[in-house]
Every structure is written in structure tokens, then in C-alpha cells.
């Protein structure tokens, strides 16, 4: 193989916990709407609203908050109390302030890889929020480059790996989302390592490309350096 030079990491639920805060907010949201619809119906309506709204608001907490408001007005109609609107807005703000909890194995993996590879973050979401989390994580100095993008497509991966690395064939994307981190990076010609997280957003599900020659799977980031060292033996 051509030697790997550049390794990119997804941020949310790859470097730190994220989806659990969405999950908790969604539970509280369902409780708020309990007088109007059962939790399953609330969950389905919210996911449908998020799917519809990505093209308007992009990814992240602000779009999620607007989708909660839209879902609430749809399910409760004019009966929706102002107190519920206030609570939904404060759920959103609380998510934008949640503490950053780094996932197991992350710091050790970055330390082991930093001397031999260009390391970067490729993340999508709200610009302010992603910048805040990176700063609070204390991980910023481990990375040579940070790219906060509006979506993760093969074209975006090609552009980023051409700009900061030596092209896609010498680059690797590591992340928890098959749909955003793995499939488009493979399509662009990169290596891709899936590090599953036990909570993954419904809109990020996709089939695992098990037989793809440049695809690997790791239990957590701690096992990634050994996995990368083993690639040279292929």
C-alpha cells in the first residue's frame, strides 16, 4: 500500500460524548408533550422533522431545537403552552453548555500517532458549538488542522485531504457514523475506521461495508494505533 500520512477524526461520539445529550433532551421533550402524544409518536415526529430540516438548518443543536419547536406545534397545535416553548428553548441552551467528556482511549491514541502522522479533526455541526467543545476538550493542540464542514460528502473528503494531506489514498477517516464518516470517505478513496458508539443518531445509520478492502472496525480509539501499524502488513 502507499504509506498513510494523514489521519482525520470525527469529533462527536468519536472524541467525546454527544448523542447522549440529544437523547436526554429528547426524553424530556417527550415528557413535555405527554399530554398531546405518546413518547413513540413524539420520537417519530421529531426524527421526521429533523430529516426535513437538515436542508434548512444544517446539523447541530440549533437545528435540533427548531425541530423540537416545530414538532411541538404540530402535535399540540394551539394548545401548546408558552411554558413548554420556554422549556424547549432552555433544553437547547443547556445542550450548548454541556460539559465535554472525552471518550476512552482518545488521548493515548493521539499521543501515539502524533509524531508519525498529520492529525486532523473533520466535524459537522454548529460552528460555535464545535469550536467550544474542541476548546473545552483540551485536545486542540493534538491536531494539525481542524475542519468544521456543513456536511460530509466524498467531495468534501477529497478537498480536505488534498489540502491538508497528500490526497485521499494516503488518508484515513475515523468515526462513529457509517453514513457520514465511513461510506463517503471510502468512496473518496480513503481508508476508513468505524469506531461504533452505543448511541448513534437515527439519521446516521447505514449498512457496514464489511468487505471493503480499505475498511476496518475498532472497539475504541485506544486500539486504533495498533490497527494502523498492522496495515503495513497487508
CB of 79 to Mg ion, least distance (A): 36
Please name the helix (run of DSSP H) or strand (run of DSSP E) that holds residue 8, with its range, or none. strand 6-9
CB of 14 to Mg ion, least distance (A): 5
Contact 118, 7 (CB under 8 A): yes
Helices (H), 96-209: 106-113, 127-137, 154-164, 183-188
Residue of the chain from 176, 178, 183, 215 that contacts Mg ion (CB under 5 A): 176
CB of 12 to Mg ion, least distance (A): 4
Q: Does 137 bind Mg ion (CB under 5 A)?
A: no
Q: Residue 202: how many CB atoms within 10 A of its CB?
A: 12
Q: Which is nearer to Mg ion, 10 or 129 (CB)?
A: 10
Region from 8-16, 34-42, 92-100, 112-120 binding Mg ion, contact rule CB under 5 A: 8-16
Q: Which is nearer to Mg ion, 37 or 157 (CB)?
A: 157
Helices (H), the chain: 19-32, 39-57, 61-76, 82-95, 106-113, 127-137, 154-164, 183-188, 224-231
CA distance 42 to 151: 26
Radius of gyration of the chain (CA): 19
Residue of the chain from 10, 50, 126, 147 that contacts Mg ion (CB under 5 A): 10
Q: Which of residues 11-50 bind Mg ion (CB under 5 A)?
A: 12-13
Contact 88, 68 (CB under 8 A): yes
- Total chain residues near Mg ion (CB under 5 A): 5
Region from 27-35, 42-50, 172-180, 217-225 binding Mg ion, contact rule CB under 5 A: 172-180
Task: By CB under 5 A, name the binding residues for Mg ion.
Answer: 10, 12-13, 176-177
Amino acid at each position: 500500500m502507499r504509506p498513510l500520512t494523514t489521519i482525520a477524526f470525527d469529533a462527536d461520539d468519536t472524541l467525546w460524548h454527544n448523542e447522549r445529550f440529544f437523547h436526554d433532551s429528547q426524553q424530556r421533550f417527550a415528557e413535555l408533550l405527554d399530554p398531546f402524544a405518546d413518547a413513540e409518536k413524539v420520537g417519530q415526529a421529531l426524527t421526521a422533522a429533523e430529516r426535513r430540516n437538515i436542508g434548512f438548518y444544517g446539523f447541530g443543536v440549533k437545528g435540533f431545537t427548531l425541530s423540537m419547536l416545530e414538532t411541538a406545534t404540530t402535535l399540540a397545535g394551539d394548545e401548546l403552552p408558552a411554558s413548554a416553548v420556554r422549556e424547549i428553548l432552555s433544553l437547547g441552551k443547556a445542550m450548548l453548555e454541556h460539559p465535554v467528556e472525552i471518550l476512552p482511549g482518545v488521548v493515548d491514541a493521539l499521543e501515539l500517532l502524533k509524531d508519525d502522522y498529520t492529525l486532523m479533526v473533520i466535524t459537522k455541526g454548529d460552528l460555535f458549538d464545535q469550536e467550544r467543545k474542541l476548546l473545552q476538550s483540551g485536545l486542540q493542540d493534538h491536531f494539525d488542522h481542524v475542519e468544521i464542514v456543513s456536511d460530509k460528502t466524498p467531495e468534501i473528503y477529497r478537498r480536505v485531504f488534498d489540502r491538508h494531506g497528500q490526497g485521499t489514498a494516503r488518508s484515513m477517516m475515523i468515526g462513529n457514523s457509517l453514513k457520514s464518516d465511513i461510506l463517503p470517505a471510502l468512496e473518496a478513496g480513503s481508508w476508513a475506521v468505524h469506531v461504533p458508539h452505543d448511541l448513534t443518531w437515527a439519521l446516521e445509520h447505514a449498512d457496514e461495508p464489511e468487505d471493503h478492502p480499505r475498511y476496518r472496525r475498532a472497539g475504541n480509539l485506544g486500539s486504533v494505533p495498533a490497527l494502523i501499524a498492522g496495515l503495513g502488513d497487508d
